[in-house]
Amino acid sequence: MIRAFFDTNGYATINLFFIVNLYRNIAILNLTMGATKTDHFTDKQNSVAILAKALGHPARIAIMEYLAKTGTCICGEIVNELPLSQPTISQHLKELKNAGLIKGNVEGNSVCYCIDEKGIAKLQDYFSKMTARLDKKRNCC
């Protein structure tokens, strides 16, 4: 039950006891509800999932292919290559950068992007190990 008292100016003040109990209950709820879904997986599994999620949109695949084809850092010219608006492309670039698949450098008023080899190496490592495991188990299903 919330108890509000009105002071001489007509402003409501809430009982401090209520607020302290509310924060305590929230803290208990966070402890009992516990871990997020990603907490149940290894760091490597979560890392690969982040990379795969970033590649989960055809526009991002097209951006990665364009960056690989050009072989240099690109700034604004990618807008001319894809049938998407500049803000949409910027959002896709942001997702790819946050995942670690591309890197960006500020040059003047724009950001120039190129592929981050470390992110690609993580994917390559994962898929090469997965392929090696599959090669050993060809008699399945």
pTM: 0.69
What is the mean predicted confidence (pLDDT) over 22-50? Answer: 71
CATH class of the domain comprising 43-120: mainly alpha
Return the H-helix or E-strand segment holding 102: strand 102-107
* pLDDT averaged over every residue in the chain: 80
CB-based contact 51:61 (threshold 8 Å): no
pLDDT tier at 42, thresholds 50, 70, 90: very high
Taking alpha carbons only, the member of 89, 86, 100, 85 closest to residue 54 is: 100
Q: What DSSP character marks residue 40?
A: G
Q: How far apart are the first and last CA of the chain?
A: 60
Confidence of residue 73 (pLDDT cuts 50, 70, 90): confident
Residue partners of 72: CB distance under 8 A and separation at least 6? 114
CB-based burial label for 101 (10 Å; 0-12, 13-18, 19+): buried
